């Protein structure tokens, strides 16, 4: 599935702000800019200050209010880590972040439960058939996750 192109961390932050407005969520954002500030740096060689495109590496951490608890960590390499109700989705493409959040807030996300072997998986479907799945620890099924369980 092709998502609208978000060419920079700043563009992705703006897109997350738009989704927050759509769903009536407050958010807080912190930015880290520069080689000495970002948490990871995979896009450039050792001892270089700028990324290959000549820009400073920029990442952002966003927390959205309400239930479920959601945070988004946008990395300079074009991917994101999204945490939904303590379930981590690593390596989500930056371009897919707005659709991912719309799926969560719009009610499309659900927990698939299996009796044997016992397991639970948080499934976040995106338009076009793209789907993200992560296991839910059996002891960490809180109210929001418990409310979206499907057998």
| Pairing mode of beta strands 79-84, 70-74 | antiparallel
pLDDT at 24: 97
Q: Which residue has the tokens 């995106």?
A: 126
Where are the chain's structural domains?
9-106
One pLDDT digit (tens) per residue for the chain, 151 residues: 568 888 888 899 999 999 999 999 999 998 765 554 555 445 445 545 444 455 566 689 999 999 999 999 998 888 999 999 999 999 999 999 999 999 999 999 999 999 888 899 999 999 999 999 999 987 778 899 999 999 7
82-120: burial string, b at 16+ Cβ within 10 Å, e else: bbbbbbebeebebbbbbbbbbbbbeeebbbeeeeeeeeb
Question: Taking each helix axis from N to C terminus, what angle separates 97-105 and 9-22, rounded to the nearest 10 degrees?
Answer: 20
């Amino acid at each position: 599935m092709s998502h609208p192109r978000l060419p920079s961390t700043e563009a992705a932050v703006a897109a997350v702000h738009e989704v927050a407005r759509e769903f009536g969520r407050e958010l807080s954002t912190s930015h880290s800019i520069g080689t000495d500030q970002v948490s990871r740096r995979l896009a450039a060689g050792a001892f270089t200050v700028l990324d290959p495109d000549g820009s400073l590496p920029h990442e952002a951490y966003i927390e959205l209010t309400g239930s479920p608890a959601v945070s988004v960590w946008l990395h300079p390499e074009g991917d994101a880590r999204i945490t939904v109700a303590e379930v981590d989705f690593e390596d989500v493409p930056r371009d897919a972040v707005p659709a991912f959040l719309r799926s969560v807030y719009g009610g499309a996300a659900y927990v698939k439960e299996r009796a044997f072997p016992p397991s639970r998986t948080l499934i976040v479907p995106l338009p076009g058939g793209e789907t993200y799945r992560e296991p839910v620890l059996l002891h960490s099924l809180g109210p929001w996750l418990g409310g979206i369980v499907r057998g």
